[in-house]
Amino acid sequence: MSKGFASSYRISLLAAGVFLCLAGVGTRLVFLHVIDRGKLLSYIEQVRRQVIVEHARRGAIYDTHDHLLATNQSMYIIGVDPQVLRPEDQANWPELATLIGIPLPKLEKVLTTKFRLTAPTNTLRASPEAPSVGLVFNLTPNAKSAAPTVEPESDDREEDEPSDGRPIRWAKLREDVDETTYDRIVALGIKGVYGNRIFRRVYPHNSLAAHLVGYVNKGGVAAAGVESYADFYLRGQDGWREGERDGLRRELAQFRTRQVDPVDGFNVILSTDIIIQHMVEEELEALAKKFNPAKATIIVTDARTGFILALANYPSFNLNEYNTAPLAVQRNLAITDQLDPGSTFKIVPASGALNEGLVGPGTRFDCSIDSIEYRGAMRRFMPDDHPYDHRLTVSEIISRSSNVGAAQLGMVLGETRLHDYARAFGFGEKSGFPFGGEISGLLNPVSKWSGIDITRIPAGYSISATPLQIHYAMGTIASGGLLLRPQIIKKIRDASGEVVYNFDTVSRRRVITEVTAKSVARMLQGVVRPGGTAVEAAIPGYEVAGKTGTAQKLIDGRYSDKHHVGSFVGFFPASRPEIVISVIVDDAKVPGGNAYGRIVGAPSFKRIGEQLIQYLDIKPPYEAGSNLLAMKGGRR
Amino acid sequence: MNDKTSHAFVNQLVVFALVVFCFSGSVGLGTVWMRHQISLTANATKTWESKLTEVERQINETHAAIERAQDPAILKLLNDQWRLGLVAPSPQQTSYIDEDPVMRLAAKHNQGLFSDSPVDTSISFKVALRR
């Protein structure tokens, strides 16, 4: 047998060497994998292991026709590290100032301030003559000397560092830079200027439906409106993944160990229609311009379902600039403020008396009297504006809005039943509107009524209600006697478009019979006919039913003759109600007159109604025609 | 143990060691190559995922931009600025009919075309007069 390629001595030596090396390597491996395993693993865990949170995308809010009302948008917070600025980039500073929209001197001040200012008291205490501590040096390349400058606004700076002259490594320049602008800023190539991407909630329609949509604040907290109420559906669930990162803190995708995907938030579809909302807000704007009211509310709902088609308040605010709007403006007045309903409340005693069969539409009352004996005592009425030459029927009491007549209807009904009907119509209790801040209004129990309350309450005084309560009380007549729950969310959809939940009509209770409701609706038509209190609300060719309200405001404990809440609440077509509209104007300034509901509310009702007829294709009930034809086209 | 046996054993040992080295080296290299491929695939997947997210984000932002442009107030402003004069018809301009509106409009348009109503049939020609 051959000796092979080497002598046995050399072979043995080589083999021994190789095995020694292998033994060495093996020993080291035992140390690494067995003996020092725990220590090394904890070190690795500390240095390389990371858990990355994947934020869920917040769901969007749409109107009933899938118009986007709220969505997410990425923006950049632009900042600068003044320590790494280069002199050759200074030529681009003016363009940077233009792009981020701040004056050049202010930008220069931020870019050239390289150290944090020490608090003056500390400086003085330490050494009044100390040249460097406590001063901010201008270290721009062109600066000949270290001239002290003014410290930029403190809120633009890191807040967690002590003010001891430490170098500034981050100064915020602007926090809402869009992507296109950011790309142009990056293209300038200024070293040290960079941005961090953030996601913000944006509202494409700005102030449209502001009080309904609500907003998410910069801290990511849903603060108002649907954003807050439907936060459970909208927010989604964050995901996370566990893995490792390299020395540059980049994720090593191959070392992902566990991963939980984020679940995006559901999309919320409202019953609101942006076109109707726009009509309403435009009308509010016109009202504000004409009457300069303290506040005003317009509500439009579907008479059959109670779903809100539009709700707007004056004053309002831009959702994208919510932080500049005072809190008083952000309140949804329709549910947070109460007022005397005035004559709009007269539907309650009239409906109650009719429903109980105590009176009929033709039952007459003497409304020329100024007082009457009731339960053994004389009760003085609230006077009517005009004397009547004949005894008024119940229909006329409604159409002419007689306080004396309404009080007598209340007396026929009695305190207890009047209270019960008022409560049944939704006064004195929350409507169930899903937003926070709703108040229940004021409806005292009968035991707390004073002697004259039986003459005041039927006329809508000594009682307070929110605009939404007044609206849904009228909606009870329109819906055939059912008090419906105000609803704003129509359905919930997941990210793929599948409907997760459908909201349906919710009836809170039956208040009056359908027959009574139809009877009251017929009586309310008299309000807009000649002789009624609001012919201004009549829409030619359509049966409009409604009620004016003019309540004196309680100022310093007395009812004022100069300050009124004027309103018109109604629906149409009266025999087949489709739409309920409320216009409530608080403290309107009417030149040379009072802010009656007829003047401030009825015309707005008519204008909105006419637009809705076209937009929603509401047909007059007594014409059999089924096809709509614009005879003169849409131009004028 | 004689020399021959010892040499044969050493030779076999060396060959075996070389085979083991080659094999384990191949396995090692294969493992490295495989892990590299895993790494490449994982990073490519990550890149595609981020691109997908980015595209979805851009789609959402485009939707928002379209919605901004379709805001009723903006459209109304443009209507005024461009003097389009577009307004919704009022109820007074609208008539409700029982029949098919297409047929009605066609009848209205073709009225007189087939002599279903009196039409002006007089025709005039310009005549050049000779002097």
List, for residues A335-388, the tens digit of each pLDDT value. Answer: 999 999 999 999 999 999 999 999 999 999 988 888 888 888 888 888 887 778
More confident residue, A541 or A412: A412
What pLDDT, on a 0 to 100 scale, did the predictor assign at position A95? 92
> What residue segments make up the domains of chain B, in order of their start?
3-83
CB-based contacts of A636: which residues, under 8 Å, 6+ apart?
A: B85, B87, B93
CA atoms of A283 and B108, how far apart (whole Å):
38
Domain CATH number, residue A578 = 3.40.710.10
Q: Is residue A494 part of a domain?
A: yes
What pLDDT, on a 0 to 100 scale, did the predictor assign at position A421? 95
In DSSP terms, A71 is beta-bridged to: A202
pLDDT > 60? residue A150: no
Find out whether the peptide bond into A458 is cis, omega within 30 degrees of 0: no
Domain final residue, candidates A177, A203, A229: A203
Query: Where are the strands (E) in A335-476, listed by range?
Result: 364-365, 371-374, 377-380, 392-393
A 188-227 residues with CB < 8 A to B: 202, 204-206, 208
Nearest by CB to B10, from A11, A202, A624: name it.
Answer: A11
Q: Are A74 and B60 in contact (CB under 8 A)?
A: no
List, for residues A425-470, the tens digit of each pLDDT value. Answer: 999 999 988 887 899 999 999 999 988 899 999 999 889 999 999 9
pLDDT bucket at A625, cuts 50 / 70 / 90: very low
Q: A153-159: list long-range contacts, CB under 8 Å, 24+ apart.
A: A156/A110, A157/A116
pLDDT > 60? residue A297: yes
Nearest by CB to B67, from A67, A254, A632: name it.
Answer: A67
Number of domain units in chain A: 2
Q: Is residue A13 part of a domain?
A: no
| ipTM of the complex in this document | 0.71
Task: Classify the phi-psi angles of A477: left when phi > 0, otherwise alpha if psi is within -120 to 50, otherwise beta.
Answer: alpha
Cβ–Cβ gap A73/B7 under 8 Å: no
Per-residue pLDDT tens listing for chain B (131 residues): 566 777 788 788 888 888 998 999 999 999 999 989 998 999 899 899 889 988 988 888 888 889 999 899 899 899 999 999 888 777 777 777 777 888 888 888 887 776 555 555 555 555 555 54
Cβ–Cβ gap B63/A71 under 8 Å: yes
Query: Average of pLDDT values for A120-137?
Result: 38
| CA B20 to chain CA centroid, nearest Å | 57
Q: Is residue A610 part of a domain?
A: yes
What DSSP designation does A264 have? P
List, for residues A260-289, the tens digit of each pLDDT value. Answer: 998 999 999 999 999 999 999 999 999 999
pLDDT > 80? residue A196: yes
What pLDDT, on a 0 to 100 scale, did the predictor assign at position A6? 55
Domain final residue, candidates A203, A236, A258: A203
CB atoms closer than 10 angstroms to residue A62:
22
CB atoms closer than 10 angstroms to residue A456:
21
Q: Are A435 and A332 in contact (CB under 8 A)?
A: yes
Residue corresponding to tokens 């009225």: B111
Query: Strand A371-374 vs strand A377-380: parallel, antiparallel, or unpaired?
Result: antiparallel
With contacts defined as CB-CB under 8 Å, which chain B residues touch A633?
A: 89, 93
CA atoms of A297 and A467, how far apart (whole Å):
7
Domain final residue, candidates A203, A221, A236: A203
Q: Which of A74-88, A112-126, A306-320, A578-592 has the lowest mean pLDDT?
A: A112-126
Q: Is residue A4 part of a domain?
A: no
Count of all residues that appear for chain A in the document? 636
Cβ–Cβ gap B101/A629 under 8 Å: yes
What pLDDT, on a 0 to 100 scale, did the predictor assign at position A132? 34
What DSSP designation does B88 have? P
Residue corresponding to tokens 């669930």: A237
pLDDT > 60? residue A51: yes
B 97-116 residues with CB < 8 A to A: 97-101, 104-105
Q: Is residue A446 part of a domain?
A: yes
Q: Is residue A526 part of a domain?
A: yes
Q: Which of A49-53, A489-493, A591-595 has the lowest mean pLDDT?
A: A591-595
What pLDDT, on a 0 to 100 scale, did the predictor assign at position A159? 42
Please indicate, yes or no, whether residues A444 and A565 belong to a single structural domain of this protein: yes
With contacts defined as CB-CB under 8 Å, which chain B residues touch A610?
A: 90-91
How far, CA to CA in Å, does A85 sit from each of A112, A150, A172? 9, 19, 15
- Angle, helices A514-525/A467-478, rounded to nearest 10 degrees: 110
A155 φ, ψ to 5°? Answer: -75, -5
Q: Which of A123-132, A190-199, A338-347, A543-552 has the lowest mean pLDDT?
A: A123-132
CA atoms of A140 and A63, how far apart (whole Å):
53
With contacts defined as CB-CB under 8 Å, which chain B residues touch A276?
A: none
CA atoms of B23 and A479, how far apart (whole Å):
86
Give chain A's largest Cα–Cα span: 146
How far, CA to CA in Å, does A221 sit from each of A158, A216, A244, A379? 22, 5, 31, 54
More confident residue, A161 or A418: A418
With contacts defined as CB-CB under 8 Å, which chain A residues touch B57?
A: 74
pLDDT > 60? residue A145: no
pLDDT > 50? residue A121: no
Please indicate, yes or no, whether residues A191 and A82 belong to a single structural domain of this protein: yes
Find out whether the peptide bond into A315 is cis, omega within 30 degrees of 0: yes
pLDDT > 50? residue A107: yes
Cβ–Cβ gap B101/A627 under 8 Å: yes
Query: Strand A193-202 vs strand A68-80: parallel, antiparallel, or unpaired?
Result: antiparallel
Count of all residues that appear for chain B in the document? 131
Q: Give the H or E element holding residue A604.
A: helix A602-616
Q: Is residue A44 part of a domain?
A: no
With contacts defined as CB-CB under 8 Å, which chain B residues touch A73?
A: 60-61, 64
A318 φ, ψ to 5°? Answer: -85, 120
Domain that holds residue A149: 73-203
List, for residues A470-488, the tens digit of each pLDDT value. Answer: 999 999 999 999 999 999 9
pLDDT bucket at A631, cuts 50 / 70 / 90: very low
CB of B68 within 8 Å of any CB in chain A?
A: yes
- Selection from A108, A112, A173, A192 nearest residue A147 by Cα: A112
